[in-house]
Amino acid sequence: MRCPFCSFMENRVVDSRLSQDGRAIRRRRECLNCHRRFTTYETLERPNIQVIKKDGRREPFDKQKVLTGLMKACEKRPISLEKIESIADELERYIENKNLREISTNEIGEQLMEHLQGLDEVAFVRFASVYRQFKDVTQFMNQIVSLLSEKKESISSQTTIQNDISRT
């Protein structure tokens, strides 16, 4: 590892610890020439995953693009950056666990919407409007009505369960 300060090639590892939920090793190094310290990260090299776009083109999976889309959907919402990053991490784990070499933007979008729907309804509708390319207000309203009916069904079933519990 070349020293970022003096470009000397020899250094020693001063400290090593797990980082990023065990997905990387953080190493503090000291240059044997200038004695300055710097940090490096060792991560597992991931296979090259290709994303199949809606028009058929393929491009490398870019977690940063996922984070950017999620951050736009969650803008001005009470959602921490940690939670947004954890959604992107979960998507990455989903892809790795299925051993996918290719994944469609449709599957990526559906996975992200599933997480957003349980997290924040406004962020979910924002993301859905871009992902599903709403052409007019009617499509937007249909998504909101669908979301409201799911919420109403959920509240109704919870009330039924509570009533059943109260009777026993």
Q: What is the 3-state secondary structure (H, E, C) of 111-160?
A: HHHHHHHHHCHHHHHHHHHHHCCCCCHHHHHHHHHHHHHHHHHHHHHHHH
pLDDT at 77: 95
Q: pLDDT over 70 for what percent of the chain?
A: 90
Whether 59 maps to a domain, the answer reads: yes
Is the pLDDT at 106 greater than 60? The verdict is: yes
Cα 77 to Cα 161: distance, rounded to the nearest angstrom: 31
- In this structure, the answer to whether residues 39 and 55 fall within a common structural domain is no
Q: Are residues 142 and 105 in the same domain?
A: yes
Does residue 107 share a domain with residue 74?
yes
Whether 38 and 57 share a structural domain = no
The reply to whether 1 falls in a domain is: no
Residues 98 and 75 grouped into a single domain: yes
Which alpha helices (DSSP H) does the chain contain, by range?
A: 63-73, 81-97, 105-119, 121-131, 137-167
Per-residue pLDDT at 108 exceeds 80: yes
Is residue 153 one of the residues assigned to a domain? no
Q: Are 111 and 91 in contact (CB under 8 A)?
A: yes
CB neighbours of residue 79 within 10 Å: 19
pTM summary value: 0.63
31 and 92 inside one domain? no
Which residue range(s) make up the domain with 35?
11-43
Residue 16 lies in a domain: yes
Residue 136 lies in a domain: yes
Residue 131: its pLDDT value, please?
A: 79
Identify the CA nearest to 16 among candidates 46, 43, 39, 44.
39
55 and 30, same structural domain? Answer: no
Based on the fold, state whether residues 56 and 23 are members of the same structural domain. no
72 and 135 assigned to the same domain? yes
Residue 155: Cβ-neighbour burial (10 angstroms; 0-12, 13-18, 19+): exposed
Q: Which residue has the higher pLDDT, 57 or 134?
A: 57
Please state, for a pLDDT cut of 90, what percent of the chain lies above it.
Answer: 55
Residue 37 CB burial class (10 angstroms; 0-12, 13-18, ≥19):
middle
Are 127 and 76 found together in one domain?
Answer: yes
Same domain, 85 and 113: yes
d(CA 48, CA 129): 29
Per-residue pLDDT, 167: 62
Q: How far apart are CA 121 and CA 32, in angstroms?
A: 54
Torsion of CA 137, 152, 75, 115, to 10 degrees: -110
Residues 136 and 58 in one domain: yes
Count the domains in the chain: 2
pLDDT tens-place string over residues 2-37: 999 999 999 999 999 998 778 789 999 999 999 999
